[in-house]
Amino acid sequence: MELIDAFWEKRNLGVDCTEITISNEDTVSQLEAITDLLDTIEYIVVKVPIARLDINEYLTKHDFVFIEANVNFQLNIKDAILTPLQQRLNNSIAYAEMNASDLSLLYVEIEKGLFKTDRILLDHNFTKLQAATRYINWIKDELARTAKAYKIVYKEDTIGFFTFKQIAEDVYYPFLAGLYEKYSQSGLGFTTLRKPIEEVIKRKGKLISTYASTNNPYVIRAHTQQGFSIHDMQYVYVKHNF
């Protein structure tokens, strides 16, 4: 069992937060040993392996609420798929690294509610502004390290974005992506997956590892359609002590 002091959430959400990741080897007794923490930390997130009914039952009895399943998708680049229609559209769509003006536009789109199925945005204990601030801070923190942010461009108009970082040799993680509001119903959402694939190809990488929430079935289907396979899955529970 891994306990992480998610200190960054104090800045983002205004609450103390601990994230707990349960492994298949962990037992309910290990959770019982930290009952005081579970009852006092303001915001607790627990990630549980699938098929651990004993852990799920314990968390439910202690006022935790299931909020999503977190799916880890992986793609061997050689297995990437586009439909013929997507291929034709994709040929007319470009991407480029963002400048300061592009980032400002991205942050405005996030503040407008770009990530509508985000667990923070769906949680009535937090506000839309807090959810947006959390994403903006996440992007800024990653860009201050080694990550890059790219705009996706169709007919000289920015339609969306993706972020991108390397997490291991030949392995890349597009940790956030999305279409902007104006293009949300355009049918071009596949580009937010395809353009990171092209960046991996450009860098001669081999694998993408990324995550999606079951709260967003469209994104789940889109990953499967483009050749991604499910590598792992966790159930996510939260509890508020404020």
pLDDT by residue (tens digit) across 24-43?
999 999 999 999 999 999 99
Given pLDDT bands bounded at 50, 70 and 90, which one contains residue 98? very high
pLDDT by residue (tens digit) across 124-160?
999 999 999 999 999 999 999 999 999 999 999 999 9
Q: Name every residue whose Cβ is closer than 8 Å to that of residue 120 and which is 6 or more positions away in sequence.
A: 13, 126, 130, 131, 134
pLDDT at 67: 98
Amino acid identity of 145? R
As given in the structure block, the two tokens for residue 77 are 């680049």
Region 167-171 average pLDDT: 97
pLDDT at 239: 98
- Distance between CA atoms of residues 42 and 29, nearest Å: 22
pTM metric for this prediction: 0.93
The residue among 77, 57, 120, 82 whose CA lies nearest residue 208 is 77
- Distance between CA atoms of residues 212 and 108, nearest Å: 22
Region 227-233 average pLDDT: 98
Beta-bridge partner residues of 179: 160
The residue among 105, 204, 211, 184 whose CA lies nearest residue 150 is 105
pLDDT by residue (tens digit) across 181-215?
999 999 999 999 999 999 999 999 999 999 999 99
Q: What is the mean pLDDT of the chain?
A: 97
